[in-house]
C-alpha cells in the first residue's frame, strides 16, 4: 500500500516539475513585437549583465550600446573612424588638437551641445574613471563656441581612436550615476541593474528620424534562457545563443543567425604576483596545456579561430607569433627548465605538488569549459587546479588577489589600433592589467608607441611590443570567438557591430 | 513523504525477520557501493574527450557523454560516493554529536540542560535550507564547508530527540534500581538508556538521509558544493542545465539518480518507522 501510494506521487511530482519549467518560459513578457507603425518596440537580450549605467564608469558600455549616449568619434565595421558628435578634428603635431563639435545637437534634457559641454563631460569622465584619465593624456581643454581645443601631455597620435571608447561618451552636466543624459537616439526611461533597461525614442535626434518608439535591452547570462527567449519570441535580437543550438536555429526560417569574426580574444591571465607564475617558463608550460584546436573544433563548433596572440594574425600590428601547440611533454620540459622536479610525468616543487586557483565566469559559456580542459591537462602533470566561478569577473579580478589564473575575454583591438589594449593590459596602471604585469621594457616600448605619429612606425612598435608579450608569455591567448547574434526576420536594419559598441541605433526597425 | 504509521502496523513475525535482513542488506549494499563506486565506473569519470562531447546514449556510452566528453554513466556511478557517501558521513557525524549531547543533557539535567535547551531552541528557529546556504556561502564553496554547514543544522534534531527519550527513561524504576545497585552514571547511560533511543534515532536518521542527499545536491546545484570536475549529482545537474535544450540526458541522468536514491531512502525510513512503531511525529 505504502509503496503504491508513493508511486502515485511520482506522476504528480513530474507534473509539478514540468509546470515549474514552463513558468520560466512564460515569465518573459510576450508583447514586445507590437508592430504598429507609431509604436514599434524591440527587445534585445544581451549576455553580460550590466550593474551600472553611467557610461563614464561602466565596464559593459551599456549606455552606448543602448543608444543613450554617444562619443565624439565612432567606428564603423570597416574599423575606420567616423565623425559622430565631433564633425571633424585635426592636429598637426599629435599634441595640439582641434575638434569641431557638431552643431544643432541637443541633449535629452534640451541643453545644447557645445564645446563647453564636451569639456565638462570629458572632465567628469576623467574624474570618475582613472583609466580614462590615464588613456587620454589630456593636459588642457579649452572650449570656445563649437571649437574644442585639446592639448595632451605628450605626443599622442591615437587620441581620436581613444575618443571612440564608450567611457568617453558625452553627457550633459545634469547627468547622474543613475540617469545619464546623452545625445543618442534613445532616452533612458528605466534601468534595473543586472536585469534590464528601457528606452524611448528621442524625437529631436540630430541624426534624423528614429524608427523605433521604444526598446528594451535585457540581460541574461544563461545561454539556454537566451535561446528560449528567441524561440518564444519574447526577445527579437539575442546575443550569443548557445553554440549547440546553431543547427536548430538555422533550420528555423523565421530567424536569422549571424556569425562573424569578432575582435574579441579569450585569454588566460596569469597573476604575476604568484611566485610560480612570475616565472616565464611556468607560464609557457601552462600555455602548452591549452588545446586550442579542440576548443575551436569541439567547444566552439568551428565558430572561432585559434589565437596565437592578442590580435588576429592578419592585423597590421601582429608580429610573427611563436608557434604554440598543445603538448604535455613540452609543458613538462618547461617545468624542468623552470627548476621544478618532474618525476614519472608529475611536477613537484620541493617535493610538494603544485596547486593553483583558476577563476572563470558563466556569461561566456565556453570559458568554464576551457577552464575544465586546462584543469584536466594540468592533472596529467599532477597539478591541482581549483576552479572558482565568479559573477562579476572584472570587479573580482581588479579587487582581489586570491587567484592565480583567470579566463577572461576582451575586445583587443576595437578601434583598429593596438595601443588601447597594450596600454590597458600591460602598463602598471592600466585598467585591464589584472595580471599585475610589471615589465619596464615593455612599458617603455608602449610609451614610445604612444609618442609616435606615422602609422607605419606605430605598427612596427606595436609589433615589437606584441612580440615581447608573446616571447615572455605574459598572457596566453586562446581563441578569437565569432560574434554571433540571432534575430527574428521582422527585425530590419540590424547590424552586428564588430566593435560591439553599437546595438540600438536610429535605423533599427521592426515590421 | 510521511504518513501516519498507525494504519500500517504490520504483524510481527517471521515476515519481519526477512524484512530486517533486507534492510541490513540494503544498508550493506549502499555502503559497499559507496566504498567501491569509483572502481565500478566502466570508464574514467574525469577523462575528457572533447571530440566526443554531448553524445547521445550509445553502446559505448550507455548514458551518453557530457559537455566535456566524459562518460555520463561513469560520472553518475562516481557520484554515488560524493553524493550518497557524503550524506552518510554527514549523518554519522550529526548522529555522533546529536546523540552524545542529547544523552548528556538529558541525564545531567539542571543547568547543563537549560543551556542545551536554549541552544537547541535557537537552532530550531533557523530554517535549515537557508541557514545551510548562508553558512556555506559565507565559508565559501567546497565540499568540506558544505559538510560543515549541513552538520551544523542536522545534529540538533537528534540531540532533541535523544534528550526527550532520556528524560522519559530517567524517571523509570529500572534506572533508580540501577543507581541503587551502585552502577556508575556512565554505565547507566550507555548500557541502559542508550538502547532505548536507538530505534527512534534510526528512524529519524533514515528519514533524514533522503533530505541530506537532497540538501547536498541542492547546494551543489547552486554552486556551493564540490567544485568542478567533481562528479556530484547536484553540480552535474547544474552543468547540464546549459544544454537542456540540446542534450537533456545531461540533466535527466543525475536528476533520476537523485530521485531514486531519495525515494529508496524514504521507503527505508518509513519501513523502519513501522518496525519501531513510532506514533509521534518526530521534529526535523
Candidates B46, B68, B267; nearest CB to A369: B68
Distance in Å, alpha carbon of B220 to nearest chain A alpha carbon: 13
If one counts the domains in chain B, the total is: 1
Could you tell me the residue ranges of all domains in chain A? 37-49+184-254+489-510, 69-168, 264-482
Q: What is the pLDDT of residues A489-503, one digit of tens each?
A: 999 999 998 888 999
What confidence tier does A222 reach under pLDDT thresholds 50, 70, 90?
A: confident
Q: Using the beta-carbon criterion (under 8 Å), do A3 and B267 form an inter-chain contact?
A: yes
* pLDDT tens-digit readout, B33-55: 777 777 788 888 888 888 888 88
Confidence band of A25 (pLDDT split at 50, 70, 90): very low
* 3-state secondary structure labels for all residues of chain B: CCCCCHHHCCCCCHHHHHHHHHHHHHHHHHHHHHHHHHHHCCCCCCCCCHHHCCCCCCCCCCCCECCCCCEHHHHHHHHHHHHHHHHHHHHHHHHHHHHHHHHHHHHHCHHHHHHHHHHHHHHHCCCHHHHHHHHHHHHCCCHHHHHHHHHHHHHHHHHHHHHHHHHHHHCCHHHHHHHHCCCCHHHHHHHHHHHHHHHHHHHHHHHHHHHHHHHHHHHHHCCCCCCCCCCCHHHHHHHHHCCCCCCCHHHHHHHHHHHHHHHHHHHHHHHHHHHHCCCCCCCC
Mean model confidence pLDDT for chain A: 89
CATH among 2.60.120.10, 3.30.1380.20, 3.10.105.10, 3.40.190.10 for A264-482: 3.10.105.10
Q: Let me know if residue B164 belongs to a domain.
A: yes
What is the average pLDDT across A449-472?
Answer: 90
CB contact under 8 A, B245 and A248: yes
How close A510 gets to chain B, by Cα (Å)? 28
What pLDDT does residue A90 have?
A: 92
Compute the distance between CA of residue B123 and CA of residue B130 in angstroms, rounded to an integer. 12
Please report the residues numbered 364 through 423 in chain A whose beta carbons come closer than 8 angstroms to any beta carbon of chain B.
365, 368-369, 371-373, 375-376, 379, 386-389
Region B200-217: mean pLDDT is 90
**B53-99: pLDDT as tens digits:** 888 899 989 999 998 899 999 999 999 888 999 999 999 999 999 99
How far away is chain B from the Cα of A453, in angstroms, using its nearest Cα?
47
The confidence score (pLDDT) of residue A487 equals 96
Which of the four pLDDT bands, split at 50, 70 and 90, describes residue A291?
very high
Indicate the fold that domain A69-168 takes in CATH.
D-Maltodextrin-Binding Protein; domain 2 (3.40.190)
pLDDT on residue B20: 62
- Nine cell digits for residue A407: 579566463
State the Rg of chain A over Cα.
Answer: 25
ipTM above 0.90, yes or no: no
The least confident of B21-35, B145-159, B176-190, B224-238 is B21-35
User: Quick check: B227 contacting A, CB < 8 Å?
Assistant: yes
So what's the pLDDT on residue A24? 41
Domain containing B190: what range? 15-49+70-276
Is a pLDDT exceeding 60 seen at residue A413? yes
Which positions 271-330 of A are in contact with B (Cβ < 8 Å)? 291, 294-295, 297-299
Tell me whether residue B146 is in a domain: yes
B48–A376 CB contact, under 8 Å: yes
Per-residue pLDDT, averaged over A217-246, amounts to 92
Residue B133 has pLDDT above 60, yes or no: yes
Q: Which residue has the higher pLDDT, B232 or A8?
A: B232
* Average pLDDT over every residue of B208-232: 91
Write down the architecture of domain A37-49+184-254+489-510 according to CATH. 3-Layer(aba) Sandwich (3.40)
- For a pLDDT cut of 70, what percent of chain A falls above it? 93
Q: Which of B8-12, B202-206, B252-256 has the highest mean pLDDT?
A: B252-256
Query: Between chains, do B228 and A244 touch, taking CB under 8 Å as contact?
Result: no
So what's the pLDDT on residue B18?
60
Q: Tens digit of pLDDT for each residue in B253-283?
A: 999 999 998 988 888 888 878 877 655 444 4
Residue A51 above 50 pLDDT? yes
pLDDT given for residue A151 in this prediction: 95
B3 assigned to some structural domain:
no
Q: Which residues of B touch A375 (CB under 8 A)?
A: 228-229
**What dihedral do alpha carbons B39, B43, B48, B51 form, nearest 10°?**
180
Q: Which residue has the higher pLDDT, A509 or A31?
A: A509
Q: Between residues 179 and 238 of chain A, which touch chain B (CB distance below 8 Å)?
A: 222-224, 227-228
Q: Please write the tens of the pLDDT for every residue from A308-346.
A: 999 988 888 899 999 999 999 999 999 999 999 999 999
- Residue A260: predicted pLDDT: 85
Give the pLDDT score at A333.
95
Taking an 8 Å cut-off on Cβ atoms, the answer to whether B3 and A2 are in contact is yes
Q: What is the pTM of this model?
A: 0.78
Q: Could you say which of A5, A244, A389 has the minimum Cβ distance to residue B243?
A: A244
Instruction: Answer yes or no: is pLDDT of B5 > 80.
Output: no
Q: For the domain that residue B227 is a member of, what is the CATH number?
A: 1.10.3720.10
Instruction: Provide the shortest C-alpha distance from residue A373 to chain B (in Å).
Output: 7
For residue A242, give the nearest of B53, B242, B270 by CB distance: B242
pLDDT attached to residue B283: 45
CB atoms within 10 A of CB A38: 5
pLDDT digits (tens, 9 = 90+) for B149-199: 999 999 999 999 999 999 988 888 888 888 888 888 888 888 888 888 888
Inform me whether the pLDDT recorded for A279 exceeds 60: yes
Q: How far apart are the first and last CA of chain B?
A: 13
Mutating which of A376, A385, A400, A402 best tests the B interface, going by the most B Cβ atoms within 10 A?
Answer: A376
Over the stretch A74-95, which tens digit does the pLDDT of each residue have? Answer: 998 888 889 999 999 999 888 9
Is A264-482 in the same CATH topology as A69-168? no
Are the beta carbons of A244 and B69 separated by less than 8 Å?
no
CB A295 to CB B46 under 8 A?
no
Residue B64 lies in a domain: no
pLDDT of amino acid A135: 84
Quick check: A46 and A239 in contact, CB under 8 A?
yes
Chain A residues in contact with B229 by the CB 8 A cut-off are: 372, 375-376
Amino acid at each position: 500500500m505504502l509503496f503504491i501510494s508513493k508511486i502515485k506521487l511520482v506522476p504528480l511530482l513530474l507534473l509539478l516539475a514540468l509546470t515549474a519549467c514552463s513558468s520560466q518560459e512564460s515569465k518573459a513578457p510576450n508583447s514586445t513585437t507590437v508592430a504598429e507603425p507609431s509604436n514599434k518596440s524591440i527587445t534585445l537580450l544581451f549576455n553580460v549583465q550590466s550593474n551600472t549605467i553611467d557610461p563614464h564608469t561602466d565596464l559593459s558600455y551599456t549606455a552606448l550600446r543602448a543608444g543613450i549616449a554617444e562619443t565624439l568619434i565612432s567606428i564603423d565595421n570597416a574599423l575606420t573612424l567616423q565623425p559622430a558628435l565631433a564633425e571633424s578634428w585635426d592636429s598637426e603635431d599629435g599634441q595640439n588638437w582641434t575638434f569641431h563639435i557638431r552643431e544643432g545637437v541637443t541633449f535629452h534634457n534640451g541643453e545644447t551641445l557645445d564645446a563647453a559641454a564636451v569639456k565638462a563631460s570629458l572632465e567628469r569622465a576623467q574624474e570618475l574613471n582613472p583609466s580614462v584619465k590615464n588613456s587620454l593624456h589630456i593636459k588642457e581643454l579649452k572650449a570656445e563656441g563649437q571649437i574644442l581645443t585639446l592639448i595632451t601631455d605628450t605626443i599622442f597620435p591615437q587620441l581620436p581612436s581613444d575618443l571612440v571608447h564608450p567611457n568617453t561618451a558625452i553627457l550633459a552636466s545634469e547627468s547622474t550615476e543613475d540617469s545619464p543624459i546623452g545625445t543618442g537616439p534613445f532616452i533612458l526611461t528605466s534601468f534595473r541593474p543586472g536585469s534590464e533597461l528601457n528606452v524611448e525614442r528621442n524625437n529631436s535626434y540630430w541624426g534624423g528620424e528614429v524608427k523605433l518608439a521604444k526598446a528594451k535591452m535585457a540581460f541574461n547570462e544563461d545561454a539556454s534562457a537566451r535561446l528560449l527567449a528567441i524561440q518564444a519570441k519574447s526577445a527579437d535580437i539575442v546575443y550569443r545563443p548557445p553554440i549547440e543550438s546553431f543547427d536548430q536555429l538555422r533550420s528555423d526560417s523565421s530567424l536569422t543567425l549571424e556569425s562573424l569574426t569578432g575582435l574579441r580574444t579569450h585569454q588566460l591571465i596569469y597573476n604575476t604576483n604568484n611566485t610560480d607564475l612570475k616565472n616565464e617558463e611556468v607560464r609557457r608550460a601552462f600555455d602548452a596545456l591549452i588545446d586550442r584546436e579542440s576548443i575551436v573544433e569541439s567547444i566552439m563548433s568551428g565558430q572561432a579561430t585559434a589565437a596565437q596572440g592578442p590580435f588576429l594574425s592578419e592585423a597590421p600590428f601582429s608580429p610573427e607569433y611563436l608557434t604554440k601547440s598543445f603538448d604535455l611533454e613540452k609543458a613538462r620540459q618547461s617545468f624542468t627548465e623552470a627548476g621544478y622536479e618532474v618525476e614519472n610525468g608529475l611536477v613537484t616543487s620541493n617535493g610538494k605538488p603544485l596547486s593553483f586557483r583558476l577563476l572563470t565566469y558563466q556569461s561566456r559559456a565556453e570559458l568554464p569549459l576551457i577552464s575544465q580542459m586546462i584543469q584536466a591537462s594540468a592533472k596529467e602533470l599532477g597539478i591541482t587546479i581549483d576552479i572558482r566561478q565568479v559573477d562579476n569577473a572584472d570587479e573580482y579580478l581588479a579587487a582581489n588577489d586570491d587567484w592565480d589564473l583567470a579566463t577572461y575575454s576582451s575586445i583587443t583591438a576595437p578601434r583598429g589600433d593596438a595601443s588601447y589594449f597594450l596600454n590597458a593590459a600591460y602598463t602598471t596602471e592600466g585598467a585591464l592589467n589584472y595580471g599585475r604585469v610589471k615589465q619596464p621594457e615593455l612599458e617603455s616600448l608602449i610609451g614610445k608607441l604612444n609618442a609616435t605619429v606615422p602609422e607605419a612606425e606605430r605598427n612596427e612598435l606595436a609589433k615589437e611590443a606584441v612580440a615581447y608579450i608573446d616571447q615572455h608569455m605574459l598572457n596566453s591567448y586562446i581563441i578569437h570567438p565569432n560574434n554571433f547574434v540571432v534575430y527574428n526576420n521582422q527585425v530590419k536594419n540590424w547590424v552586428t557591430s564588430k566593435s560591439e559598441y553599437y546595438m540600438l541605433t536610429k535605423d533599427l526597425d521592426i515590421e | 513523504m510521511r504518513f501516519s504509521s498507525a494504519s500500517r502496523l504490520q504483524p510481527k513475525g517471521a515476515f519481519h525477520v526477512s524484512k530486517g535482513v533486507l534492510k541490513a542488506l540494503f544498508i550493506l549494499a549502499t555502503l559497499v557501493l559507496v566504498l567501491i563506486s569509483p572502481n565500478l565506473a566502466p570508464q574514467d569519470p574525469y577523462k575528457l574527450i572533447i571530440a566526443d562531447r554531448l553524445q547521445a546514449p550509445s553502446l559505448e556510452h550507455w548514458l551518453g557523454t557530457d559537455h566535456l566528453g566524459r562518460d555520463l554513466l561513469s560520472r553518475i556511478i562516481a557520484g554515488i560516493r560524493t553524493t550518497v557517501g557524503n550524506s552518510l558521513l554527514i549523518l554519522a557525524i550529526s548522529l555522533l554529536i546529536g546523540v552524545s549531547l542529547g544523552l548528556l543533557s538529558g541525564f545531567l539535567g539542571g543547568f547543563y540542560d537549560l543551556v542545551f535547551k536554549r541552544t537547541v531552541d535557537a537552532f530550531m528557529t533557523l530554517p535549515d535550507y537557508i541557514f545551510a546556504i548562508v553558512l556555506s556561502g559565507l565559508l565559501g564553496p567546497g565540499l568540506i564547508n558544505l559538510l560543515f554547514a549541513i552538520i551544523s543544522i542536522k545534529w540538533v534534531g537528534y540531540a532533541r530527540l535523544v534528550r526527550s527519550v532520556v528524560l522519559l527513561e530517567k524517571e523509570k524504576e529500572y534506572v533508580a534500581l540501577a543507581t541503587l545497585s551502585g552502577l556508575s552514571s556512565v554505565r547507566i547511560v550507555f548500557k541502559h538508556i542508550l538502547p532505548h533511543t536507538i530505534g527512534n534515532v534510526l528512524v529519524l536518521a533514515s528519514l533524514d538521509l533522503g533530505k541530506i542527499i537532497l540538501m547536498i545536491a541542492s547546494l551543489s546545484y547552486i554552486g556551493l558544493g564540490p567544485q568542478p570536475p567533481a562528479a556530484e549529482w547536484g553540480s552535474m545537474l547544474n552543468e547540464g542545465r546549459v544544454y537542456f535544450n540540446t542534450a537533456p540526458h545531461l540533466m535527466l541522468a543525475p536528476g533520476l539518480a537523485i530521485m531514486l536514491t531519495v525515494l529508496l531512502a524514504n521507503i527505508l525510513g518509513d519501513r523502519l518507522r513501522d518496525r519501531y512503531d513510532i506514533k509521534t511525529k518526530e521534529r526535523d
